[in-house]
Structure 1
Amino acid sequence: MTVRDLTWGDGEVRLTFSMDAEDRIRLTGFLAGRPLGAFDRSLPLVEIITADRSKNAGSRYDATELGLDLRYVAHRTASDDRGEVLEVDLRDQVSALRATVRYSLRAGSGVLSSSVTLAHAGSAPAIPVLFVSSLVLGDDAWDCDSTTIHLADNDWLAEARWRSGSFAEFGEPEVDMAAHFGASPRGSLARIGRGTWSTGEHLPMGAMEFPGGDTLLWQVESNGGWRWELSQGPASRPAGSLRLVTSGPSDVEHQWSIVLDDGDEFVTPVTTFAWSTDGFEGALARLTEHRRADRRRYAGDAGLPLIYNDYMNTLNADPTTEKLLPLIAAAGSVGAEIFVVDAGWYSDEPGWWDSVGAWEASTTRFPGGFDEIFHAIRAQGMTPGLWLEPEVVGIHSPVASTLPDDAFFGRHGSRLASSGRYQQDFRHPAVVSRMNAVIDRLVAAYGLGYLKFDYNINPASGTDHHAVSPGEGLLAASRAYLDWIDALHERHPQLIVENCASGGMRSDWLTVSRFALLSTSDQQDALRCAPIAAAATTMVPPEQAGVWSYPQHGMADAVTTVTLANSVLRRPILSGHLDHMTEAELDRVREFVAAHKSVRDELPVLQSTWPLGLPGWEDSWIAAGLVGIRGGYLTVWRRDADSPERVSIPVGRLLPPGGRRVERVFPRDADGGWEIVGDTLEISLPAPSAVVLRFR
């Protein structure tokens, strides 16, 4: 058998391929000079399921019949905005299906992105497609017993809950297939994102950390359904060896299918992975730099201006002129730079949930006119901001009768209602035209420099309007929404736009990369917010990690300290009834504002570290830091009085060469005590409390 080889990449990531005499091509390695083991050559470059070409029984998606039989046609290299590009063209022997696997790599980054384009290249019968992968990898050294797997559950008010364990500890024990006729196991460890809340159950991320610290960390970049799985190889491979398959939506999990006819194409969502020899934190540092290079830049957001929003634990969607004016004055007095009027501004009635959509300001809430509010904001030297939920129309809104049925998500010819609302479909020109007019009117009328885009429904599997399946409709409509966001930025380049979906229900990178910041959670309990704030930088870089701080008059000093400390090293979204506070309470808020402003210029170059490990939801002690070349910062929380009063925290990563000085950033009068002994911070704190420290 003649074998032909292909090599592409750089000194960090280098893909090697081999082809047999029948032009079947396999990936045989992906690291430059650091092979982990015998790469799994039994895997194709892409996994595909069609109506007549299936996979093995069970829930896994590796080694599909059609994928294994694809043949090499050609390859080419190029460059794009993600770096260097390799495209490998493949053909199916049986049908007119063609596949192009596309890899892109930023030189020296240790980060690679992968996607697949399927095309119907002939006049043969149409091809119903039920699944196509974005990335396929496997290595015999990826042993299910010795490999530590990291994954993150994500739920409303409980976002970014990372867990670590072995394959067996996550419910998939190693099974020896040697006695079972060479078969493959049928199960897999899978995480899935469904519906329009792309991260309503899990983050689209995962990692494998191998003995010695080598780590592969991945993210699936899809806002319309995604999946990743780890599964064990067949009996022909060493027992317990792992395979990774990632994808966008699938038929079984998302009711997704497409039909490719002559000339049709489909492009999968991208999967990006980062490789590091320095554990999870090293891989995340590389992924963070990739995200920073990949995200849209906001001219208006230069300097990371401090945001005040009237919602959380404050007006709670019930704004009026009488309530807002003193809040605006108080927010300006403590140093806020943006003031956002949140939900409720558009309704004369308290029960506005199912009547939204026109986005016209209430006259009863603002008898002197809504523009009076924004004049007051500007008079305090702040940028005006406004909350909006652009994708929804209430079922009782007059707008619902002005748009055709196919301007909304629908099933079987009927509009699809979710929580008393309809979902607009941004594939429809009437939706795009109407929402462009709404945004342009609001920006012009009130001089807005900031918009908070919220999203609070999740309409099932999608829409079958203009689609052969609900999942196809969902993916296409979700992509069209992001196209609308891109066009909005082109029309209003100075506008800062925040991504919120009931907090962090849309934390997929495809979405977040288009926004200035992510609202990471709606959690209103300061102590429960702490682990979310600590883990927020796994979802986004710290300068995009929007974290609420909501001090109140009469709040216990310790809780006030915790809620403010939560966001010092993140992107604060300040709230709370500042207008009810005493001068002493306001001084604490001013101290917080000054503390954050003293560090914010460094945030875009710092990397995350968790010296006590990624935070657990019930952890009593939590430590989350940011590391730079001149030293680092660390927030330490003690949440539970039953926990040890003193802990030892390894801080070697945070200490600059020769540096052993630790300074208090916030609060200036923190209780407790600490000292550095060698590379360890010995710290004692009362409970509950938190402190932010600087290492120089």
Structure 2
Amino acid sequence: MRDGHVTRRWTLRGTRTEYTVAVPDHGRWLELVAWGPHGVSDGPSPVGYDGPVPFLTKGDAAPVEYATETDRPFAGADLVVETRSAFQFTEAAAHGQQLEVTFADPVNGLRAVLHYRIPAGTDVVERWVELTNDGPEPLRLARAGSAGFCVPTPHGARISYQWGQWAQEFQLDRVDLAHGAFAVGSAQGVPGHLYVPWLAITDQADDGPVWGVALAWTGSWQIEAERDTGGLTRIRAGRRLVDGPLELAPGQRLTLPVAAGAYSAGGLGGLAQVWHRYQRLLAGDRLAPRPVLYNSWEATYFAVDADSQLALARIAAEIGVETFVVDDGWFTGRGDDTAGLGDWTPDPAKFPAGFDAFIGDVRALGLKFGLWVEPECVNPRSRLYAEHPDWVYAVGGRPLTAVRNQYLLDLGRPEVAEFVHSTVDGLLREHDIDYLKWDFNRPRTEPGRPGATGVLDLDGAHVTNLYRIYERLRRDHPQVLIEACAGGGARTDLGMAARADVFWPSDNTGPLDRLAIQHGFLHANAPHLLSSWVTDAPGLFDPRPRTLAFRFVLAMAGVLGIGADIRHWTAEQRAEAARWIARYKEIRDIVMHGTVHLIGGPDRVRCAVQYLAPDERTVVVLAWHTGRLDGAGLLPSRPVRLPLRGLSPQARYRAGEHLYSGSHLAAVGLPVQWTATHDAEVVVLRRA
């Protein structure tokens, strides 16, 4: 209460930003007042509008935070009820940096609680909605978005997004939107390879301030940005209801996914830092240094046996690897990708002395042990499918669609969720395992459940149970790290960032291809989530050769791994690998926790990532040569200069025998000189 009136305006404050909302006098919706740096709401709203709206309604032009189809009948609603719905403000509760604002429909009984939270130490506003049917009749929701974010774009909207395909994920691009709409999303039951649930928006005339939106949902999703004629861009984010309308029974409650908004005055690079700080918070006490790992996939594929794996493990231990991961092919019936999925028993023919004896041999080398699993899928040629053919998604009377020779288990069924959990939990309890690579190699194709009646939310049930399984495993096996993979990077979103420890961003490990993939990845995700391997694979899209040094420096940008067939590396290559691994261990704390500055890009002469230690006394720079190697160093050329950020101008920084002022490193840049045999570099600068 204030001056005898209920407070209807609230401001949430982050580390550097604030988010202010208010309920207008009519009480029909909540709207944005201002979103930006501290103090931005002290003045007229940059997004507010109370002028004429010919052929529209007031809500179509207003910066509405969460709109029904009655509020915004023409410009796009966040919530669409088949019988229509209209809200009225009822109450609000604010405590700390959290806010709940409640609206209700007096006709159909639908109640919506709009939740807001800015976690301490971040500049990310989390938003989600809790819907409850307090009425006597079921309600069908044709659209159930999580939030609408409003951004002032008086000169037009510039939208940055990430597109891709398998082996070419996280390709950063942008589109200028003068009028109309831009949309990305997935109907595959996973975030997918095609787009990332992440957008960044700025005004076309200003390269500084930028707003970002991301979705914490590991199923089908959509994000749409639409710019109106008055200069406002509204971004709608939420689930994509691929299974049709949701039904909300009387008394039933539905919690929608978190949509997160971020602001930075420092462009896309500054916005990346905001997301990084937030994801480190999501990791909590699990944000420990990730081990250097070896994964056997590209060396042996399905030809897994104790002898070949131990041969790899011995070399891996010699060069400094800390965790050895056996990939696909270790279980019964798995000679190729046509059989075995679902029958998660170690193959005694491949491990004649016993699986635990094999693990003991790996551990005797000083290595921790990891294992690949794909527990949500099943091969038609498996014991599990023979016993439970009704456990897969299917539409009655229609043939099943096989993708990678496998079907998808209906994880929304309680008995299936229990099987998946008990299978993985059993492996972790029976064997000495420290690391799981959890794969998912197909989208959902069949929108049905045999024998079920009524309205189904298959997508929602699958994701909900997946989250529960991850959370139970992390609770019961806190020492086990989980790497999320879906044929590469098809399962990367904020929902998984809160539950998985590492992401596998792509099956493409070719050096120049991977450089572009990681450049986009780091705009949306923190380095502790970036699993990257050194392999012998050429690129699919840019096959130009690069040195072993380039591959190591590239993989050191996140969580270092090796996937090459190191049995065929020469003694010199193994010695070089050992030196790079030792160097990575010296800098990985800074890579995991430091402030990241992205310098240039894979399509530019300048291409580097800078990590500034939390105490700002150490700087790590990883740099790569992106051009042709032939002729490099043979003709007159000056060094490439990499402008560094976040340094004290008056301080001096030492790298080996070289001493630089912070001002020089910012204004002129750190020099790197490329030759045909020197195409990547790690530079560590320490404040003198």
Indicate whether the TM-score tops 0.5. yes
- The answer for the alignment partner of 2:245 in structure 1 is 257
| Match in the other structure for 1:679 | 668
**Aligned partner letter, 1:134:** S
Q: Does 1:97 align with 2:97?
A: no
CA apart distance, 1:507? 0.6
- The Cα offsets for residues 212-242 of structure 1, whole Å up to 9 and x where unpaired, read as 6112112111111211111122x5xx2x432
Q: Aligned partners of 2:423 and 2:352: how far apart in 1?
A: 22
After TM superposition, the score normalised by the length of structure 1 is 0.84
- Determine the structure 1 residue equivalent to 2:232: 241
2:194 is the counterpart of 1:201: yes
CA deviation vs aligned residue, 1:30-75 (integer Å, no higher than 9, x gap): 34421572435624331345xxx797579x5469799994211111
Measure, in 2, the Cα distance between the counterparts of 1:577 and 1:441.
30
Map 1:587-626; keep pairs closer than 5 Å: 587-612=575-600, 615=601, 619=604, 622-626=607-611
Residue number in structure 2 paired with 1:154: 164
Q: Superposition pairs for residues 267-282 of structure 1, below 5 Å?
A: 267-282=255-270
Aligned-pair Cα RMSD in Å: 3.2
Distance 1:73 1:677 in 2: 53
Aligned-partner Cα distance in 1 for 2:392–2:649: 59
One-letter amino acid of the structure 1 residue matched with residue 98 of structure 2:
V
- Quote the residue 1:408 is aligned against: 392
Which of 21, 35, 39 aligns to 1:33? It is: 39
**Helix, strand or coil at the partner of 1:418:** coil
Q: Decide whether aligned partners of structure 1 residues 659 and 199 sit closer, same or farther in structure 2, where only a CA change above 3 A counts.
A: farther
- SS of the residue corresponding to residue 169 of structure 2 reads strand
Shift of the 488–463 alpha-carbon distance from structure 1 to 2, 3 Å rule, reads: farther
Q: 1:588 to 1:423 in 2, by over 3 A?
A: same
Task: Give the conservation status (yes or no) of the 8 Å contact 2:295–2:563.
Answer: yes
Match of 2:148 among 136, 142, 154: 136
In structure 1, what residue type is equivalent to 2:88?
A: R
CA distance in 1, matches of 2:488, 2:525: 14
1:76 corresponds in structure 2 to: 93
User: Quick one: which amino acid aligns to residue 449 of structure 1?
Assistant: D
**One-letter identity of the residue aligned with 1:44:** V
Whether the 8 Å CA contact 1:664–1:692 is kept in 2: the answer is no
User: Aligned in 2, Cα 1:321/1:464: closer, same or farther, shift over 3 Å?
Assistant: closer
Percent identical across equivalent pairs? 20
Query: CA–CA distance in 2 between the matches of 1:296 and 1:425?
Result: 31
Shift in alpha-carbon separation, 1:54–1:357, aligned structure 2, 3 A: farther
Matched, 1:44 2:54: no
CA shift in 2, pair 1:415/1:257, >3 Å: farther
> What does residue 495 of structure 1 align with?
480
2:19 alignment partner, one of 5, 14, 30? 14
With 412-421 and 127-136 compared, the bigger mean Cα shift is at 412-421
Partner Cα separation in structure 2 for residue 311 and residue 283 of structure 1: 35
**How far has the Cα of 1:537 moved from its partner?**
2.3
Residues 107 and 444 of structure 1: CA distance in aligned 2, closer, same or farther (over 3 Å) = closer
1:418 aligns to what? 402
Unaligned runs of 5+ in 1: 168-172, 175-186, 666-674
Is the 1:9–1:15 Cα contact (8 Å) retained in structure 2?
Answer: yes
Q: Deviations over 1:398-451 (max 9, x none)?
A: 11132361x332334778543132222333332233334423442344311111
Structure 1 residue 578: Cα displacement: 2.0
Partner of 2:52: none
Aligned equivalents of 1:260, 1:415: Cα separation in 2: 31
Q: Is the 8 A contact 1:258 1:468 kept in 2?
A: no
Matches of 2:337 and 2:365, distance apart in 1: 30
> Which amino acid letter does the alignment assign opposite residue 137 of structure 1?
F
Q: How far apart are the structure 1 equivalents of 2:85 and 2:65?
A: 8
Partner of 2:277: 289
Aligned partner of 1:317 in structure 2 is 302
How far does residue 646 in structure 1 lie from its aligned partner after superposition? 5.4
Partner of 1:114: 127
| Aligned equivalent of 1:635, options 598, 609, 622 | 622
CA gap of 1:212–1:200, structure 2 versus 1, over 3 A, is closer
Structure 2: any 5+ residue segments left out of the alignment?
50-60, 658-663
Code of the residue aligned with 1:411 in structure 2: it is V
Residue 330 of structure 1 and its aligned partner are, at CA, apart by 0.3
Give the match for residue 576 of structure 1.
564
Q: Check whether the contact 1:44–1:67 (CA below 8 A) recurs between aligned residues.
A: no
Preserved CA contact (<8 Å) 1:544 1:570? yes
**What is the distance in 1 between the residues matched to 2:146 and 2:164?**
22
